[in-house]
Chain A
């Protein structure tokens, strides 16, 4: 099965003053996916996004977006792409709708006749209809962020590139963004979203990639990334000794026992196949559950524990 790719970079790299901000990046973003782009601070997410949008020219490799090379094909590609890059950017002395009108006018393909209606609609989608008329300098951080999202949604898009879209949003706003992203994805828009909020990525993404110090360290479906082989079964029983024997004979690895609690790595064995074995061996089961590794654990495993930003 070959899925079309909305973004496919090959050997993409960017050097800033002799240091690689992004190195040999091979991203493959399937069309129609909600693609989470993860990585610690300074790992090159924004730099990559800027290259995809033609704001920065790569020093190596290429970055086809929607099947055409960027930055050369910006004229035909960018109208199909909605973007939020490193926070919103607006003229403070203009109102929200006036700012959107200005950016929409900058798009040569956007129709002036439908402009008003599209602006109103997109303000409504981000919940700014009531507050929108103020000058942007009087907006709160979250309101600006919402206006940035509204700008990305001014026209129907094939690809949305959102760099930390929930930054500065209140919990309702965060939820709305998730809902919005799901809606857009259901409509067939590919959404490429960078974040360090792993819980958020887990809730909305189908695919993800993990960056570390400018390199891609993992990418794939969320399932594959979490790594089911890493799942551990946790068993509570008054008969730990017999239970250990059962788990051993079932081929589970890394069995650990602590009083009545047993844990073991499940591997590719389905958990439901364990219960009959335990029952047959007359092990009394008080509790049984599977701990899936969280994305956070995988993320830390992939990008390292340290808090310091890689220099």
Chain B
């Protein structure tokens, strides 16, 4: 004599929850603020270089990417990405990934999602998927904004690659897209770390900060020659590998190395998050 309709499992149910999660993430003003801040990096870079090169001063002393910009606007996106990778980018990924579970706990929505019932594993997967989409959206925001502002402020032409070869504009744009995707891939491991930390606490800011600290620490360790043996396993080791995509022919193997490394981190921290989240008491 059940009054409730039987639990009819609609095939798109997981997708619907994912859709709702993505709308949730991208309807938040905070997400847009972060994407805009990231998009502002290339704008600042481009404007600054435009002004200084407009002075007609001596040879600029910036990093090689930055000097390339004045010659070709298509470099603005890549140069800004390289500038954002050590801190800005992991900062935004840390905010989104650290917020996944802890944010729901702090607003009290976690208990209602679980009682709905979202299912703990399903919720965790959807939350990670939402963060993963952001991982790609963030570098693409930089690349797109950078390419656009670069095209406005600087001459645009065939790109001279690091190897000295020139590729036509269309192929250059393709490379830019690949670089954006490569960096998105690079952030997936960090997002998994953030997800796990987020299951440990009900305080989202704590989870966010801890995630960013891990990203920074990993980069510091990556600089210490004494830890050479450890370097290939570090979360951030492949982050700057994107430059290898600017050679002719592009060194696609960095993609594989990066994917393997990130997969490792996703598996380990995904498993930790799973172990923690499926057994923990939800008291918030």
Which residue of the partner chain A has the closest CB to B6? A109
A103-133: CB near B (< 8 Å → 1, else 0) gives 1111111011000000000000000000000
Secondary structure of the A contact surface, majority rule: loop
Interface residues of A in 60-74 (CB under 8 A from B): 74
| Chain A: minimal CB distance from B254 (Å) | 38
Residues of B within 8 Å of A, CB-based: how many? 40
Total count of chain A residues near the partner, CB < 8 A: 45
Q: Interface stretch among A89-97, A173-181, A191-199, A251-259?
A: A89-97
The answer to the question of B179 belonging to the interface, with a C-beta cut-off of 8 Å to chain A, is no
List residues of chain B with CB within 8 A of the CB of A108. Answer: 7, 9-10, 13-14, 17, 119, 122
State whether the Cβ of A281 lies closer than 8 Å to any Cβ in chain B.
Answer: no
Q: Is the CB of A92 within 8 A of B111?
A: no
**A20–B5 CA distance with the chains assembled, in angstroms:** 37
B27 within 8 A of A: yes
CB distance B3 to A53 under 8 Å?
no
Cβ 8 A contact of A78, one of B29, B108, B117: B117
The one of A74, A83, A106 in contact with B17, judged by C-beta atoms closer than 8 angstroms, is A106
Tell whether A85 is near chain B: CB-to-CB under 8 Å.
yes
Number of A-B residue pairs with CB-CB distance less than 8 Å in the complex they form: 124
B-facing residues in A188-229 (Cβ within 8 Å): 188-189
Looking at A36-44, A153-161, A294-302, the stretch in contact with chain B turns out to be: A153-161
Whether B109 lies near A91 (C-beta < 8 A) is yes
The verdict on B220 contacting chain A, using a C-beta distance below 8 Å, is no
Cβ A106 vs Cβ B117 within 8 A: yes
A80 within 8 A of B: yes
Contact B20 A102 (CB under 8 A): yes
Q: Is the CB of A55 within 8 A of B4?
A: no
Residues of B within 8 A of A111 (CB): 8, 10
Identify which of B12, B24, B108, B283 contacts A89 (C-beta below 8 A). Answer: B108
- Give the shortest distance, in Å, between A71 (CB) and chain B (any CB): 10
Contacting A at CB under 8 A, from B180-226, are none
> Cβ of A54: which chain B residues have Cβ within 8 Å of it?
114-115, 117
| CB-CB nearest in chain A for B282 | A55
Contact of B112 among A92, A94, A101, A103 (CB under 8 A): A103
Contact present for B116 and A104 (CB under 8 Å): yes
Closest Cβ–Cβ distance, residue B234 to chain A (whole Å):
35
Q: Does A140 contact B (CB under 8 A)?
A: no
Q: How far is the CB of B123 from chain A (nearest CB, A)?
A: 7
Known: A83-B115, A90-B108. 14 other contacts (CB 8 A): A50-B111, A54-B114, A80-B4, A89-B109, A90-B112, A99-B109, A103-B109, A106-B116, A106-B118, A108-B17, A109-B9, A109-B13, A155-B5, A156-B5
List of 5 A-B pairs having minimum Cβ-Cβ separation, nearest first: A89-B108, A109-B7, A106-B118, A78-B117, A106-B116
29 A-B pairs in the complex with CB atoms less than 8 angstroms apart: A50-B282, A53-B111, A54-B115, A55-B114, A57-B281, A74-B117, A76-B7, A78-B117, A79-B7, A79-B117, A80-B4, A83-B115, A86-B108, A89-B108, A89-B112, A92-B107, A94-B24, A99-B109, A101-B20, A106-B17, A106-B20, A106-B118, A107-B116, A108-B13, A108-B14, A108-B122, A109-B6, A112-B16, A188-B3
